[in-house]
Amino acid sequence: MPLSKVIVNYIINFLLRQNTSSSYPVNYRTTVVSGEKLHLKGSKNGTLSSLIVSSGCYLQAGNGIEIDEGTIWAPNVVMVSANHDMENETKQWQSANPIKIGKHCWIGANAVILPNVVLGDNVVVGAAPS
């Protein structure tokens, strides 16, 4: 991953005051909510690069998102680990198990991963080849 890409994303995020809760560098067109609950495991090989390069993604880690090493994702991926309780006046987040994504997975463009989802190792999410 080119250091220049990391620096540009950091500067733009800083100027726009976005993704401040994430402890990882994030593409400036990607939004991370509750970044303190986003956990990239292992050596982060590939996984961290996806967070920096893949634009237009939305990661809401209210109940946690755990992504193992070597997992990559394309642009516009949405991961939402918490839903809202529409019966409750405050519409607060409901408790759920964290999203867990195994090693060396590939999440294709425009994929949506919702609360309680667990993907094993080497899983591909997206359109199947013809």
pLDDT, tens digit only, all 130 positions of the chain: 555 655 665 565 565 556 555 667 777 788 888 889 999 887 766 788 788 778 899 999 999 999 999 999 899 999 999 987 777 776 677 788 999 999 999 999 999 999 999 999 999 998 666 5
- Non-local (6+) Cβ contacts of 118 within 8 A are 97, 99, 100
pLDDT in the model for residue 52: 76
In this structure, the dihedral spanned by the alpha carbons of residues 44, 53, 96 and 43, taken in order and rounded to 10 degrees, is 0
CA separation for the pair 27, 57 (Å, rounded): 9
pLDDT in the model for residue 77: 94
pLDDT in the model for residue 20: 59
List, in order of start, the domains of the chain with CATH numbers: 3-125 (2.160.10.10)
